[in-house]
Chains A and B, each alone.
Chain A
Amino acid sequence: GQQVMQIPQYQHVQEGEDFTTYCNSSTTLSNIQWYKQRPGGHPVFLIQLVKSGEVKKQKRLTFQFGEAKKNSSLHITATQTTDVGTYFCAGWGGTGNQFYFGTGTSLTVIP
């Protein structure tokens, strides 16, 4: 079954509001990666976190890797219409060091 779950599955926000997606893994991950997929497009790499408790920022985006390396979050401040898309977390982990893609959170920004 699915090893990496994301919540919420869908999120609609007014432009200018903040947005957060949470990523939870059933297994410890050696790293966490975040991707963005625009409608009709392919996933594009955003960032990678490796260290426990690591926090990284990219302009309005803040990424966090949990202390136990089993969860992560992506927070977008003051959303814009260009933020529309599905955000996936992904990472390597498990006994066989497999690669897991999260279930994704689809973000809609209402202008």
Chain B
Amino acid sequence: AQKVTQAQTEISVVEKEDVTLDCVYETRDTTYYLFWYKQPPSGELVFLIRRNSFDEQNEISGRYSWNFQKSTSSFNFTITASQVVDSAVYFCALSEAKGNTGKLIFGQGTTLQVKP
């Protein structure tokens, strides 16, 4: 069965602190895709990253970085030097290649609050 677990329900940090959002997934498929989305108060899900199961290289984009480890089925997201504008709900999601449906299985989300 497919499942995505984001164990951290809420995280609160002070501006400029680094913060890591955890994501653990379960799948029986050998080919799959992992995503991170940001949902600000406006409600629209904003795409952050897509990673396929064959690419375990870590990725950095500005203050954002992602650590993909197949051995532990984890795809963690780190924000360096957090800012108030980073406050949002962050979702990790999984999409299996089998069946080619492209449907996303989301975790429950982590609410990040960055205080000034």
Are A and B a genuine interacting pair, yes or no? no
- A residues engaging B (CB < 8 A)? none
